[in-house]
Amino acid sequence: MPVPAEHAAAVEQLVRKIATRGASCVWITPPMWKHDSGILQVIHDHAAPCLFFDSDAVLGGLQPDERQGDGIHPNKRGGARWTSAFWGWLQDHRDPSRPGWALLPFETRG
């Protein structure tokens, strides 16, 4: 992805479609398998009001032995670790003052 900023409008358009339905939403990035081109920052900057789950920042990345033979997709062990990391993050971002799966407002990535 040579110019990630070119995708900002597409991110915003998708988020608008979701947000107009009133649902809480989370943009989940996959565990990266190669160097980030800058698209993660573009998504982060344009995903509000959806929250942004940076898999690598929370998970610490997947190890080579946690990926399938293609070197991209998580294997059973990597998938279990990724799922556990997301579930914990989701629990931390729930808004207990609201019913159901309401999430706390968008926050900036540190």
10 Å CB burial of residue 22 (0-12, 13-18, 19+) is exposed
| 109 found inside a domain | no
| 105 found inside a domain | no
Q: Give the DSSP per-residue string, 3-25.
A: -GGGGHHHHHHHHHHHHTTT---
Contact yes or no for 46/15 (Cβ under 8 A): yes
Alpha carbons 64 and 53: distance in angstroms, whole number: 21
| 3 state SS of 54 | coil
At 2-37, the pLDDT tens digits run 899 999 999 999 999 988 887 788 999 989 999 889
Q: What backbone torsions phi and psi does residue 72 show, to the nearest 5 degrees? A: -115, -60
At 46-82, the pLDDT tens digits run 999 899 999 999 999 999 999 999 999 999 999 999 9
| 110 found inside a domain | no
Quote the domain boundaries for residue 62: 4-92
Of 28, 29, 33, the C-alpha closest to 68 is 33
To the question of pTM greater than 0.75 for the whole model, the response is yes
Query: How many structural domains comprise the chain?
Result: 1
CATH (domain of 75): 3.40.50
